[in-house]
Protein backbone atom coordinates (compact mmCIF):
# COMPACT_ATOMS: atom_id res chain seq x y z
CA UNK A 1 0.00 0.00 0.00
CA UNK A 2 1.39 3.39 -1.02
CA UNK A 3 1.55 6.45 1.20
CA UNK A 4 -1.30 8.07 -0.76
CA UNK A 5 -3.46 4.95 -0.57
CA UNK A 6 -2.98 4.77 3.17
CA UNK A 7 -4.04 8.40 3.47
CA UNK A 8 -7.38 7.44 1.88
CA UNK A 9 -8.24 4.97 4.66
CA UNK A 10 -10.86 5.85 7.24
CA UNK A 11 -10.19 5.81 10.99
CA UNK A 12 -11.05 2.12 11.34
CA UNK A 13 -8.77 1.20 8.43
CA UNK A 14 -5.84 3.16 9.82
CA UNK A 15 -6.27 1.72 13.29
CA UNK A 16 -6.49 -1.76 11.82
CA UNK A 17 -3.09 -1.25 10.17
CA UNK A 18 -1.67 -0.10 13.50
CA UNK A 19 -2.96 -3.23 15.22
CA UNK A 20 -1.48 -5.47 12.56
CA UNK A 21 1.95 -3.84 12.69
CA UNK A 22 4.56 -6.48 13.47
CA UNK A 23 7.47 -4.19 14.33
CA UNK A 24 7.87 -0.91 16.18
CA UNK A 25 9.21 0.73 13.02
CA UNK A 26 6.14 -0.35 11.06
CA UNK A 27 3.80 0.87 13.80
CA UNK A 28 5.55 4.25 13.99
CA UNK A 29 5.27 4.64 10.20
CA UNK A 30 1.53 3.92 10.20
CA UNK A 31 1.07 6.26 13.16
CA UNK A 32 2.92 9.01 11.29
CA UNK A 33 0.74 8.53 8.19
CA UNK A 34 -2.37 8.58 10.40
CA UNK A 35 -1.32 11.85 12.04
CA UNK A 36 -0.47 13.39 8.66
CA UNK A 37 -3.90 12.40 7.38
CA UNK A 38 -5.67 14.04 10.31
CA UNK A 39 -3.56 17.20 10.04
CA UNK A 40 -4.14 17.50 6.29
CA UNK A 41 -7.86 16.81 6.66
CA UNK A 42 -8.28 19.39 9.42
CA UNK A 43 -6.29 22.00 7.48
CA UNK A 44 -8.27 21.36 4.31
CA UNK A 45 -11.62 21.50 6.15
CA UNK A 46 -10.67 24.74 7.90
CA UNK A 47 -9.48 26.29 4.64
CA UNK A 48 -12.53 25.13 2.67
CA UNK A 49 -15.11 26.42 5.20
CA UNK A 50 -13.15 29.67 5.62
CA UNK A 51 -13.29 30.27 1.85
CA UNK A 52 -17.06 29.83 1.87
CA UNK A 53 -17.34 32.21 4.84
CA UNK A 54 -15.29 34.84 3.02
CA UNK A 55 -17.22 34.47 -0.23
CA UNK A 56 -20.74 34.16 1.12
CA UNK A 57 -20.60 35.64 4.64
CA UNK A 58 -19.96 34.20 8.09
CA UNK A 59 -23.64 33.36 8.50
CA UNK A 60 -23.26 31.00 5.53
CA UNK A 61 -20.21 29.16 6.82
CA UNK A 62 -22.58 26.24 7.41
CA UNK A 63 -22.94 26.02 3.62
CA UNK A 64 -19.22 25.32 3.45
CA UNK A 65 -19.66 22.54 6.02
CA UNK A 66 -22.53 20.93 4.10
CA UNK A 67 -20.75 21.15 0.73
CA UNK A 68 -17.56 19.76 2.28
CA UNK A 69 -19.49 16.81 3.73
CA UNK A 70 -21.02 16.04 0.35
CA UNK A 71 -17.70 16.31 -1.47
CA UNK A 72 -15.85 14.06 0.98
CA UNK A 73 -18.58 11.43 1.03
CA UNK A 74 -19.74 11.28 -2.58
CA UNK A 75 -16.27 11.19 -4.07
CA UNK A 76 -16.33 7.56 -2.90
CA UNK A 77 -19.95 6.71 -2.09
CA UNK A 78 -22.54 6.17 -4.80
CA UNK A 79 -26.34 5.96 -4.97
CA UNK A 80 -26.36 2.43 -6.36
CA UNK A 81 -27.75 3.36 -9.77
CA UNK A 82 -26.60 4.65 -13.18
CA UNK A 83 -23.99 7.40 -12.74
CA UNK A 84 -25.79 9.91 -14.95
CA UNK A 85 -29.06 9.50 -13.07
CA UNK A 86 -27.23 9.64 -9.74
CA UNK A 87 -25.59 12.92 -10.74
CA UNK A 88 -28.97 14.44 -11.59
CA UNK A 89 -30.33 13.21 -8.27
CA UNK A 90 -27.45 14.87 -6.42
CA UNK A 91 -28.28 18.16 -8.15
CA UNK A 92 -31.92 17.71 -7.07
CA UNK A 93 -30.83 16.99 -3.49
CA UNK A 94 -28.96 20.30 -3.40
CA UNK A 95 -32.08 22.11 -4.62
CA UNK A 96 -34.11 20.46 -1.85
CA UNK A 97 -31.51 21.28 0.84
CA UNK A 98 -31.38 24.88 -0.36
CA UNK A 99 -35.09 25.61 -0.65
CA UNK A 100 -37.07 23.33 1.68
CA UNK A 101 -35.35 24.06 5.04
CA UNK A 102 -35.75 27.79 4.40
CA UNK A 103 -39.43 27.45 3.50
CA UNK A 104 -40.12 25.15 6.45
CA UNK A 105 -38.78 27.83 8.80
CA UNK A 106 -41.33 30.29 7.42
CA UNK A 107 -44.27 28.01 8.25
CA UNK A 108 -45.81 26.93 11.52
CA UNK A 109 -44.19 23.89 13.17
CA UNK A 110 -46.93 21.56 11.88
CA UNK A 111 -46.85 22.82 8.27
CA UNK A 112 -43.07 22.87 8.42
CA UNK A 113 -43.17 19.24 9.54
CA UNK A 114 -45.23 18.26 6.49
CA UNK A 115 -42.77 20.00 4.16
CA UNK A 116 -39.82 18.37 5.93
CA UNK A 117 -41.47 14.95 5.52
CA UNK A 118 -41.87 15.52 1.79
CA UNK A 119 -38.29 16.75 1.41
CA UNK A 120 -36.73 13.94 3.44
CA UNK A 121 -38.80 11.40 1.52
CA UNK A 122 -36.97 12.35 -1.68
CA UNK A 123 -33.55 12.48 0.00
CA UNK A 124 -33.91 9.12 1.74
CA UNK A 125 -35.85 7.07 -0.80
CA UNK A 126 -33.53 8.01 -3.66
CA UNK A 127 -30.31 8.90 -1.86
CA UNK A 128 -30.18 6.34 0.94
CA UNK A 129 -31.20 3.11 -0.76
CA UNK A 130 -28.33 1.28 0.91
CA UNK A 131 -28.58 2.12 4.64
CA UNK A 132 -25.15 0.64 5.38
CA UNK A 133 -23.45 3.32 3.28
CA UNK A 134 -24.85 5.88 5.78
CA UNK A 135 -25.68 8.45 3.08
CA UNK A 136 -28.33 9.73 5.49
CA UNK A 137 -25.51 10.97 7.71
CA UNK A 138 -24.63 13.33 4.85
CA UNK A 139 -27.93 14.24 3.18
CA UNK A 140 -30.23 14.38 6.20
CA UNK A 141 -27.52 15.93 8.37
CA UNK A 142 -26.89 18.59 5.72
CA UNK A 143 -30.62 19.31 5.51
CA UNK A 144 -30.91 19.67 9.29
CA UNK A 145 -27.85 21.92 9.56
CA UNK A 146 -29.24 24.27 6.92
CA UNK A 147 -32.60 24.14 8.70
CA UNK A 148 -31.04 25.01 12.05
CA UNK A 149 -28.85 27.81 10.67
CA UNK A 150 -31.43 29.44 8.42
CA UNK A 151 -30.87 32.96 7.06
CA UNK A 152 -33.00 35.55 5.30
CA UNK A 153 -32.69 38.50 2.94
CA UNK A 154 -29.32 39.15 1.34
CA UNK A 155 -27.75 36.31 3.31
CA UNK A 156 -30.19 33.84 1.79
CA UNK A 157 -29.42 35.13 -1.68
CA UNK A 158 -25.75 34.45 -1.00
CA UNK A 159 -26.71 31.02 0.32
CA UNK A 160 -28.39 30.27 -3.02
CA UNK A 161 -25.16 31.10 -4.83
CA UNK A 162 -23.04 29.10 -2.37
CA UNK A 163 -25.25 26.01 -2.65
CA UNK A 164 -25.28 26.28 -6.45
CA UNK A 165 -21.48 26.31 -6.42
CA UNK A 166 -21.48 23.38 -3.99
CA UNK A 167 -23.86 21.42 -6.22
CA UNK A 168 -21.64 22.00 -9.26
CA UNK A 169 -18.51 20.91 -7.37
CA UNK A 170 -20.13 17.81 -5.88
CA UNK A 171 -21.72 16.69 -9.15
CA UNK A 172 -18.45 17.22 -11.02
CA UNK A 173 -16.40 15.21 -8.52
CA UNK A 174 -19.05 12.51 -8.26
CA UNK A 175 -19.38 12.03 -12.02
CA UNK A 176 -15.62 12.06 -12.57
CA UNK A 177 -15.04 9.41 -9.91
CA UNK A 178 -17.95 7.12 -10.85
CA UNK A 179 -18.38 7.50 -14.62
CA UNK A 180 -16.48 4.29 -15.41
CA UNK A 181 -18.44 2.12 -13.01
CA UNK A 182 -21.15 -0.19 -14.30
CA UNK A 183 -24.51 -0.30 -12.53
CA UNK A 184 -27.29 -2.79 -13.29
CA UNK A 185 -30.00 -0.67 -11.67
CA UNK A 186 -31.57 2.68 -12.48
CA UNK A 187 -34.02 5.12 -10.96
CA UNK A 188 -37.00 3.01 -11.96
CA UNK A 189 -35.57 0.06 -10.02
CA UNK A 190 -35.38 2.13 -6.84
CA UNK A 191 -39.07 2.91 -7.15
CA UNK A 192 -39.98 -0.72 -7.86
CA UNK A 193 -37.93 -1.94 -4.89
CA UNK A 194 -40.01 0.09 -2.44
CA UNK A 195 -41.56 -2.61 -0.25
CA UNK A 196 -43.29 -1.77 3.00
CA UNK A 197 -42.52 -5.25 4.36
CA UNK A 198 -38.74 -5.00 3.86
CA UNK A 199 -36.35 -3.87 6.60
CA UNK A 200 -34.89 -1.22 4.31
CA UNK A 201 -38.20 0.41 3.48
CA UNK A 202 -39.36 0.35 7.10
CA UNK A 203 -36.07 1.99 8.09
CA UNK A 204 -36.56 4.64 5.40
CA UNK A 205 -40.11 5.37 6.54
CA UNK A 206 -38.96 5.74 10.14
CA UNK A 207 -36.33 8.28 9.04
CA UNK A 208 -38.82 10.16 6.86
CA UNK A 209 -41.49 10.44 9.55
CA UNK A 210 -39.62 10.42 12.85
CA UNK A 211 -37.03 13.15 12.23
CA UNK A 212 -39.59 15.84 11.17
CA UNK A 213 -41.90 14.85 14.04
CA UNK A 214 -39.02 15.27 16.51
CA UNK A 215 -38.29 18.73 15.06
CA UNK A 216 -41.96 19.69 15.28
CA UNK A 217 -42.34 18.60 18.91
CA UNK A 218 -39.16 20.42 19.94
CA UNK A 219 -40.38 23.60 18.27
CA UNK A 220 -43.87 23.34 19.74
CA UNK A 221 -42.18 23.08 23.15
CA UNK A 222 -40.19 26.25 22.29
CA UNK A 223 -36.88 24.44 22.63
CA UNK A 224 -34.02 26.26 20.86
CA UNK A 225 -31.65 24.27 18.62
CA UNK A 226 -34.40 21.86 17.60
CA UNK A 227 -32.05 20.54 14.92
CA UNK A 228 -29.99 18.87 17.67
CA UNK A 229 -32.95 16.62 18.50
CA UNK A 230 -33.46 15.90 14.81
CA UNK A 231 -29.81 15.01 14.27
CA UNK A 232 -29.84 12.75 17.33
CA UNK A 233 -32.96 10.96 16.05
CA UNK A 234 -31.47 10.58 12.56
CA UNK A 235 -28.26 9.04 13.90
CA UNK A 236 -30.14 6.57 16.13
CA UNK A 237 -32.52 5.18 13.50
CA UNK A 238 -30.99 2.03 11.99
CA UNK A 239 -32.52 -0.96 10.16
CA UNK A 240 -32.00 -3.38 13.07
CA UNK A 241 -33.33 -2.82 16.56
CA UNK A 242 -30.20 -4.21 18.25
CA UNK A 243 -28.09 -1.59 16.48
CA UNK A 244 -30.55 1.10 17.51
CA UNK A 245 -30.27 0.17 21.17
CA UNK A 246 -26.49 0.40 20.87
CA UNK A 247 -26.67 3.83 19.19
CA UNK A 248 -29.11 5.21 21.76
CA UNK A 249 -26.91 4.14 24.68
CA UNK A 250 -23.73 5.44 23.09
CA UNK A 251 -25.34 8.72 22.03
CA UNK A 252 -26.66 9.49 25.51
CA UNK A 253 -23.49 8.44 27.35
CA UNK A 254 -21.24 10.10 24.75
CA UNK A 255 -23.08 13.41 24.94
CA UNK A 256 -23.05 13.48 28.72
CA UNK A 257 -19.33 12.67 28.72
CA UNK A 258 -18.76 15.34 26.05
CA UNK A 259 -20.66 17.92 28.09
CA UNK A 260 -18.58 17.13 31.18
CA UNK A 261 -15.29 17.36 29.25
CA UNK A 262 -16.35 20.60 27.55
CA UNK A 263 -17.35 22.13 30.90
CA UNK A 264 -13.99 21.24 32.43
CA UNK A 265 -12.14 22.80 29.47
CA UNK A 266 -14.40 25.85 29.61
CA UNK A 267 -13.32 26.61 33.18
CA UNK A 268 -9.67 25.64 32.76
CA UNK A 269 -8.94 27.52 29.52
CA UNK A 270 -8.91 31.30 29.06
CA UNK A 271 -11.97 32.76 27.31
CA UNK A 272 -9.83 33.94 24.39
CA UNK A 273 -9.45 30.37 23.10
CA UNK A 274 -12.97 29.04 23.73
CA UNK A 275 -13.59 28.97 19.98
CA UNK A 276 -10.71 26.49 19.55
CA UNK A 277 -12.43 23.90 21.73
CA UNK A 278 -14.55 23.08 18.68
CA UNK A 279 -11.39 22.47 16.64
CA UNK A 280 -10.13 20.20 19.41
CA UNK A 281 -13.37 18.26 19.08
CA UNK A 282 -12.81 17.92 15.34
CA UNK A 283 -9.36 16.46 15.97
CA UNK A 284 -10.88 14.06 18.48
CA UNK A 285 -13.44 12.90 15.91
CA UNK A 286 -10.55 12.31 13.51
CA UNK A 287 -9.00 9.89 15.99
CA UNK A 288 -12.31 8.17 16.80
CA UNK A 289 -13.41 5.06 14.96
CA UNK A 290 -16.23 4.17 17.37
CA UNK A 291 -19.60 5.94 17.46
CA UNK A 292 -19.50 6.55 21.21
CA UNK A 293 -16.25 8.53 21.06
CA UNK A 294 -17.48 10.43 18.01
CA UNK A 295 -20.52 11.47 20.04
CA UNK A 296 -18.20 12.77 22.78
CA UNK A 297 -16.10 14.96 20.50
CA UNK A 298 -18.98 16.12 18.28
CA UNK A 299 -20.39 17.73 21.41
CA UNK A 300 -17.42 20.10 21.62
CA UNK A 301 -18.13 21.92 18.37
CA UNK A 302 -21.86 22.21 19.02
CA UNK A 303 -21.37 23.60 22.53
CA UNK A 304 -18.61 25.98 21.46
CA UNK A 305 -21.09 27.70 19.14
CA UNK A 306 -24.15 27.47 21.39
CA UNK A 307 -22.33 28.77 24.50
CA UNK A 308 -21.84 32.13 22.78
CA UNK A 309 -25.61 32.54 22.48
CA UNK A 310 -27.06 30.75 25.50
CA UNK A 311 -24.16 30.77 27.95
CA UNK A 312 -22.52 27.62 29.29
CA UNK A 313 -25.41 26.47 31.47
CA UNK A 314 -28.03 27.07 28.81
CA UNK A 315 -26.00 25.38 26.07
CA UNK A 316 -25.21 22.35 28.22
CA UNK A 317 -28.85 21.92 29.28
CA UNK A 318 -30.09 22.22 25.72
CA UNK A 319 -27.52 19.76 24.42
CA UNK A 320 -28.39 17.06 26.94
CA UNK A 321 -32.17 17.54 26.76
CA UNK A 322 -32.33 17.67 22.97
CA UNK A 323 -30.12 14.63 22.45
CA UNK A 324 -31.82 12.46 25.05
CA UNK A 325 -35.23 13.46 23.73
CA UNK A 326 -34.21 12.82 20.11
CA UNK A 327 -32.79 9.32 20.55
CA UNK A 328 -35.40 8.12 23.08
CA UNK A 329 -38.26 9.36 20.90
CA UNK A 330 -36.68 7.75 17.83
CA UNK A 331 -36.32 4.42 19.61
CA UNK A 332 -39.91 4.50 20.91
CA UNK A 333 -41.23 5.55 17.48
CA UNK A 334 -39.44 2.70 15.71
CA UNK A 335 -40.50 0.12 18.31
CA UNK A 336 -44.15 1.14 17.88
CA UNK A 337 -43.87 1.34 14.09
CA UNK A 338 -42.24 -2.09 13.80
CA UNK A 339 -44.82 -3.58 16.19
CA UNK A 340 -47.64 -2.07 14.13
CA UNK A 341 -46.16 -3.44 10.91
CA UNK A 342 -45.75 -6.92 12.41
CA UNK A 343 -49.38 -6.91 13.60
CA UNK A 344 -50.52 -5.78 10.16
CA UNK A 345 -48.55 -8.61 8.56
CA UNK A 346 -50.05 -11.14 10.97
CA UNK A 347 -53.56 -9.89 10.15
CA UNK A 348 -52.92 -10.19 6.43
CA UNK A 349 -51.56 -13.73 6.84
CA UNK A 350 -54.65 -14.67 8.88
CA UNK A 351 -56.97 -13.32 6.20
CA UNK A 352 -55.13 -15.22 3.49
CA UNK A 353 -55.27 -18.42 5.55
CA UNK A 354 -59.04 -18.08 5.92
Is the whole model's pTM more than 0.85, yes or no? yes
Indicate the length of the chain as a whole number. 354
DSSP track, 302-341: HHHHHHHHHHHHHHHHHHHHHHHHHHHHHHHHHHHHHHHH
What per-residue string of b and e applies to 51-72 under the rule 16 or more CB within 10 Å gives b? ebbeebbebbbbbbbbbbbbbb
pLDDT digits (tens, 9 = 90+) for 316-332: 999 999 999 999 999 99
Mean pLDDT, residues 104-111 taken together: 96
> Rounded to an integer, what distance in angstroms lies between the CA atom of residue 96 and that of residue 161?
14
The helix or strand, by DSSP H or E, that contains position 65, with its residue range, turns out to be helix 61-74
Number of H helices, E strands in the chain: 14, 0
The pLDDT tens digits of the residues spanning 130-143 come to: 887 788 889 999 99
The whole-angstrom separation of Cα 63 and Cα 10 is 24
- Band (pLDDT 50/70/90 cuts) for residue 285 is confident
Share of the chain above pLDDT 70, in %: 92
Work out the pLDDT band at 159, boundaries 50, 70, 90. very high
Dump pLDDT digits (tens) for 38-49: 788 888 888 998
Percentage of the residues of the chain whose pLDDT score is greater than 90: 48
Q: For position 104, what pLDDT does the model report?
A: 97
- Counting Cβ atoms within 10 Å, is residue 222 exposed (0-12), middle (13-18) or buried (19+)? exposed
Vertex 308, ends 161 and 293: CA angle to 5°? 85
Task: Please name which of 86, 17, 57 lies closest in space to residue 156, comparing C-alpha atoms.
Answer: 57
pLDDT tier at 4 (50, 70, 90 boundaries)? low
Confidence tier at 296 by pLDDT (50, 70, 90): confident
CB atoms within 10 A of CB 91: 15
* Confidence label for 11 from pLDDT (cuts 50, 70 and 90): low
Q: Give the pLDDT score at 133.
A: 79
d(CA 229, CA 144): 10
Q: pLDDT digits over 210-246, tens only?
A: 999 999 999 999 988 899 999 999 999 988 888 899 9
- pLDDT band at residue 121 under the 50/70/90 scheme: very high
pLDDT in tens, 73-86: 999 888 889 999 99
Amino acid sequence: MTFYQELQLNQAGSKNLLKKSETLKEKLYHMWVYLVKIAVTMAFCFFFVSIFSILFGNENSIVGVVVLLCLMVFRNADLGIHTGQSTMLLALFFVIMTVCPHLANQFSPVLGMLLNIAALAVLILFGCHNPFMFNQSTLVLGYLLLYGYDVTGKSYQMRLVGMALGAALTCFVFYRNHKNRTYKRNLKDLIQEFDITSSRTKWQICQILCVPIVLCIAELCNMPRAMWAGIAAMSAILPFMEDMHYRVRKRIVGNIAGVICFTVLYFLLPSSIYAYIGILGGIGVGFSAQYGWQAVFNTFGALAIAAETYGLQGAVSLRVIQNVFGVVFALAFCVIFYWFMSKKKESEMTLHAE
